[in-house]
Amino acid sequence: MISALKSERKRVTFVGRINVGKSSLVNALLEQNLSIVSPIPGTTTDPTEKAIEILPAGPLLFTDTAGIDDTSLLGNERIKKVYEVLKKTDLMVVVIAPPFDNFEYEKKLLEEAKKNQITSVIVVNKIDMFDVSKFDCSFFQDIDMLFVSAKTKQGIKKLREYLGTALTDQNNKGILDGLVKENDHVLIITPVHHAYPKGRMKPLQVQVFREILDKNATFTVAKPEVLKGGRLIEKIRPNLIVFDSQALKDIKHLLPENIPVTSFSILFARYKANFKSLITSCDYLDQLKDGDKVAVIEACSHHRLEGDMGREVLPKLIEKVTGKKLNFVFFSGLHQNFNETKDVKFALHCGGCMLTERDMKKRQEYFASKNIPLTNYGIFIAKYHGLLNKLTQNLK
């Protein structure tokens, strides 16, 4: 069975001071020993992730983090990691335990969560060690609070139920909402790229396949070369055509006027990003000048082969459409600080199938704050071929 992608899992991050029992709590919720537990301070160093399914929320990703009061030699670096993880978090679980003081560290965490619009819950651990009735809750007003003991398992079931319901209503939209309904048929057109191993499909394609099935619809998958001059499209009469952007140059003359058509990359632009912003950013291509710096960004890291979309194909297309000689800077990976974007005049981002909606929109916000237009591979390719309106008209 193929598990849900990390990018499709709601993220639950456990934070707190050293030795409040974060790791023990995660282990108790998972009913397995994911994290090392020890009375020695600073046992957890780097964030530890574990996928789990809790209904009705569905697929979640638990992240256990280092103590936010770590004063060891590498403490500052570990704390930075905690705050990096928080930027990707949907629900922050702040774990506290006796002895209690002025909650200085917890206050900073809650402020960070509020700034990033992250839902928070306070979990008071080790209730087997003190009288809960004497605990002063006044500092944590307007925040849900649960009392547990990771050691005795008291309150663990209630916490698990809370996590299952707290995230239920978040991000229930679908990739194909408004495009596919029950009994529809979708035609998928994709080349088999040599960069993908035998037996593998791109993650965003697999997600679309699954959603079609969830909607009780059907689909046909074909390579561009088997379309037979458009006769396959005429034969199956699909309700929607979705293609890989790399196939557009080979199939654009076959696309019918009376059937909705779009690309995987454009679908994910609507699904995970500020769609309108990505489209309007394309207008700024006309303002590029010789020597301007353009950023090409990919969320995943992969082995580069000849004909790589981000490193070779797109830079050539951008220079062709603008008629300018440009300088390109490349970014890849999920964790980026984009320090080299100082002089960037335009940015092009991949479909973002490995990013969460929060991740993608945070990236858009960053580039907007620097006044750098940011668009998506598929949207740019559609504009290059003069088909942007046709491929987005059913998505706006």
- Per-residue tens of pLDDT for the chain, all 396 residues: 455 666 678 899 999 999 999 999 999 998 877 655 555 555 556 788 888 888 887 788 999 999 998 877 777 888 888 988 898 899 999 999 998 888 999 999 999 999 888 999 999 999 999 998 888 888 888 899 999 999 999 999 999 999 988 887 555 688 999 999 999 999 999 987 665 666 677 878 888 999 999 999 999 999 999 887 888 999 999 999 999 998 999 999 999 999 999 999 999 999 999 999 999 999 999 999 999 999 999 887 655 555 577 778 899 999 999 999 999 998 877 666 676 678 999 999 988 877 888 888 989 999 999 999 999 999 999 999 999 999 999 886
Nearest alpha-carbon partner for 125 in 110, 112, 135: 135
CA distance 381 to 47: 37
Strand partners, 214: none
Strand partners, 222: 189
CA 385 to chain CA centroid, nearest Å: 28
**Residue 385, helix vs strand vs coil:** coil
Distance, first Cα to last Cα, the chain: 34
CA distance 192 to 333: 23
Beta carbons within 8 Å of 112's beta carbon, 6+ residues apart: 83, 86, 118
Host H or E run for residue 334: none
pLDDT at residue 309, rounded to an integer: 76
Q: Please state the φ and ψ torsions of residue 376, each to the nearest 5 degrees.
A: -115, 150
Residue 96 near residue 124 (C-beta atoms within 8 A): yes
pTM for the whole thing?
0.76
pLDDT at residue 58, rounded to an integer: 78
Q: How many Cβ atoms from other residues are within 10 Å of residue 46's Cβ?
A: 12
pLDDT at residue 173, rounded to an integer: 81
Q: Match 């790399």 to its residue by tokens.
A: 246
pLDDT at residue 1, rounded to an integer: 44
Residue 222 near residue 275 (C-beta atoms within 8 A): no
Q: Where are the domains of the chain?
A: 6-166, 185-268, 274-384
CA distance 167 to 34: 22
pLDDT at residue 370, rounded to an integer: 92
CA distance 150 to 21: 7
Nearest alpha-carbon partner for 109 in 226, 182, 15, 230: 15
> What architecture does CATH give domain 6-166?
3-Layer(aba) Sandwich (3.40)
Domain 274-384 in CATH 3.40.50.720? The answer is no
**Residue 240, helix vs strand vs coil:** strand
Strand partners, 323: none
pLDDT at residue 336, rounded to an integer: 64
Residues constituting the chain: 396
Amino acid at 116: N
At the topology level of CATH, where does 185-268 sit?
Answer: Rossmann fold (3.40.50)
Q: Please state the φ and ψ torsions of residue 249, each to the nearest 5 degrees.
A: -60, -30
CA distance 254 to 251: 5
CA distance 144 to 162: 10
